């Protein structure tokens, strides 16, 4: 490790006209005096939701422990099996009278609470663990948390799922019991929040119209910074800036393709299914950049919402996902549902987990210093069951999480374990020690012994 004589603060930024860009972790940010012991790694946390449940027989590994064979749906995660834990036989506590079950699957997935039965604005679903983590680990990050999504839900008001308020189906993150946090679907908006928060509306419009990069205005500052750094740090900054430019380019290409189709971002995810990959990738790219630059330490993404009308012709599924999830246990339709499940896992693995694993951070990679929950609040989509659920926990948790295990958490009495028990255990890893969360009954062993 090269330690420069000039120590840089972790909050060092590059500034230009209308742009302010935080830097990734550099050797120069680690004080020489502590180089031998290195700095303490900073935990990041992410939550990725997929709707309509899974085909459990294709999701749950047959064996427990460390020597399990990866299940068909989870097979895209094989390269990261040593950085993940699989949990089966969990359940979501719900009020069965609240809608058909879709809304309560997503809105309480991260709270472990029971949603209030209402179709009005008086919603209540419990504060979610990402927001408890904001209070504990967000620190002075520019964006305390990021809530991202894929589908426009601004038109959804009133009751969206039987008697359930649309407020339940449109968010997985809740700042307080009665405050759902809307998901931002536009990657450009998030990109500008991260890197262009010093710019005016006119400056942002000019960049869009002239196809200029947000990086153009900071290159002088970047060159000056590099002259003060060691060779390794110079290479890291160059790689980082090129990655930012590539993300910006992909967002621009996504916007251009939508304009060519005569659509906008709000409508495009449904009307132009082939853009789904690009949209998801852009959102994951932004989450990676946020973690890398310490712009945000907490992020969530709804890869799709419950009751969505999305089709997946790009993988051979022309029927709407919701309809496919009601497969009636027909083998052909179940196979299509499993295909969607596998597709989502592959996007998660390729565009998020793999990138975190490739980026150096303190004492390891960004993946080593992250704790990522991936899953759904619904088990069997055909009957809207909330048990058994299966979730995976990915990352090293800044050195705290054990890994490489499949654990069946069914109780001795044969009952499924509340999902809230896993959430409570994740809060422990984040340094937040609570007696209970929602309808938790205890904790699950996720940390190293």
DSSP structure string for 114-147: -----SSS-------HHHHHHHHH-TT-SSS-EE
- Report if residue 105 sits inside a domain: yes
Q: How far is CA 86 from CA 83, 355, 406, in A?
A: 10, 21, 4
* Burial state string for 280-308 with b = 16 or more CB within 10 A and e = fewer than 16: bbbbbbbbbbbbbbbbbbbbbbbbbbbbb
Q: How close are the terminal C-alpha atoms of the chain, in Å?
A: 30
- Does one domain contain both 422 and 326? yes
- Does one domain contain both 68 and 81? yes
- Does one domain contain both 359 and 256? no
Q: Is 412 helix (H, G, I), strand (E, B) or coil?
A: coil
- Does one domain contain both 416 and 338? yes
Write the DSSP symbol of residue 375: E
Residue with tokens 């205005």: 217
- Report if residue 203 sits inside a domain: yes
Q: What is the CATH number of the domain that holds 303?
A: 3.40.720
- Report if residue 438 sits inside a domain: no
Number of domains present in the structure of the chain = 2
Distance CA 194, CA 396 (A): 25
- Report if residue 21 sits inside a domain: yes
- Report if residue 258 sits inside a domain: yes
- Angle of helix 276-293 versus helix 331-348 axis, rounded to 10: 30
pLDDT in tens, 307-342: 888 999 999 999 999 999 999 999 999 999 999 999
- Does one domain contain both 35 and 52? no
pLDDT < 70 positions in the chain = 1-6, 31-39, 94-100, 153-163, 197-212, 261-274, 449
Per-residue pLDDT at 203: 61
Per-residue pLDDT at 32: 47
Per-residue pLDDT at 211: 62
- Does one domain contain both 366 and 307? yes
Q: Is the peptide bond before 183 cis (omega within 30 degrees of 0)?
A: no
Per-residue pLDDT at 94: 62
Per-residue pLDDT at 49: 98
- Report if residue 199 sits inside a domain: yes
Write the DSSP symbol of residue 276: H
Q: How far is CA 270 from CA 152, 260, 342, in A?
A: 10, 16, 20
- Report if residue 448 sits inside a domain: no
The two three-digit tokens of residue 305, written as one number:
């919402």
- Asked whether 87 and 61 are in contact (CB, 8 A), the reply is no
Q: Please, is 91 exposed, middle or buried when counting C-beta atoms within 10 Å of its C-beta (0-12, 13-18, 19+)?
A: buried
Q: Where are the beta strands (DSSP E) in 282-414?
A: 298-302, 360-361, 364-365, 370-375, 389-394, 405-408
- Does one domain contain both 48 and 175? yes
- Does one domain contain both 163 and 129? yes
- Nearest of 291, 286, 253, 302 to residue 48 by alpha carbon: 302
- Does one domain contain both 237 and 177? no
- Does one domain contain both 180 and 311? yes
- Does one domain contain both 175 and 316? yes
- Report if residue 29 sits inside a domain: yes
Domain housing 35: 8-39+190-265
β-bridge mates for residue 124, sequence order: none
Per-residue pLDDT at 19: 79
- Nearest of 166, 153, 164, 157 to residue 116 by alpha carbon: 164
- Asked whether 394 and 84 are in contact (CB, 8 A), the reply is yes
- Does one domain contain both 213 and 314? no
Radius of gyration of the chain (CA): 22
């Amino acid at each position: 490790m090269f330690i420069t004589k000039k120590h840089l603060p972790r909050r060092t930024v590059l500034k230009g006209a209308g742009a302010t860009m935080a830097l990734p972790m550099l050797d120069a940010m680690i004080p020489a005096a502590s180089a031998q012991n290195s700095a303490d790694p900073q935990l990041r946390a992410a939550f990725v939701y997929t709707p309509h449940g899974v085909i459990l027989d294709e999701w749950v590994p047959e064996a427990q422990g460390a020597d399990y064979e990866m299940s068909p749906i989870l097979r895209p995660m094989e390269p990261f099996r040593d950085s993940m834990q699989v949990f089966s036989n969990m359940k979501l506590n719900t009020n069965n009278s609240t809608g058909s079950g879709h809304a309560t699957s997503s809105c309480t997935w991260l709270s472990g609470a029971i949603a209030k039965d209402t179709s009005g604005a008086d919603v209540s679903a419990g504060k979610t663990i990402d927001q408890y983590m904001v209070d504990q680990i967000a620190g002075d990050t520019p964006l305390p948390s990021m809530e991202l999504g894929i589908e426009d839900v601004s038109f959804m008001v009133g009751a969206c799922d039987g008697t359930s308020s649309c407020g339940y189906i449109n968010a997985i993150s809740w700042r307080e019991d009665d405050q759902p946090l809307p998901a931002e679907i536009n990657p450009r908006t998030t990109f500008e929040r991260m890197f262009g928060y010093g710019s005016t509306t006119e400056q942002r419009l000019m960049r869009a119209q002239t196809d200029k990069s947000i990086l153009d205005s900071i290159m002088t500052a970047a060159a000056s910074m590099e002259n003060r750094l060691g060779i390794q740090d110079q290479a890291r900054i160059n790689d980082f800036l090129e990655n930012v430019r590539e993300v910006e380019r992909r967002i621009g290409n996504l916007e251009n393709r939508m304009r060519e189709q005569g659509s906008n971002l709000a409508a495009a995810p449904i009307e132009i299914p082939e853009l789904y990959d690009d949209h998801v990738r852009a959102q994951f790219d932004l989450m990676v950049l946020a973690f890398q630059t310490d712009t945000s330490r907490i992020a969530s993404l709804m890869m799709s919402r419950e009751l969505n009308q999305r089709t997946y012709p790009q993988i051979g599924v022309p029927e709407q996902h919701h309809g496919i999830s009601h497969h009636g246990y027909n083998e052909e339709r179940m196979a299509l549902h499993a295909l969607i499940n596998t597709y989502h896992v592959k996007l998660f693995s390729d565009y998020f987990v793999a990138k975190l694993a490739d980026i150096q951070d303190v004492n390891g990679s960004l993946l080593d210093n992250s704790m990522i929950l991936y899953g759904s609040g619904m088990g069997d989509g055909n009957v809207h069951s909330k048990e058994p659920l299966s979730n995976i926990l990915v990352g090293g948790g800044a050195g705290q999480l054990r890994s490489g295990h499949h654990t069946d958490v069914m109780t001795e009495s044969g009952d499924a374990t509340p999902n809230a028990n896993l959430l409570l255990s994740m809060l422990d890893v984040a340094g937040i020690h609570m007696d209970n969360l929602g309808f938790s009954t205890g904790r699950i062993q996720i940390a190293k012994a």
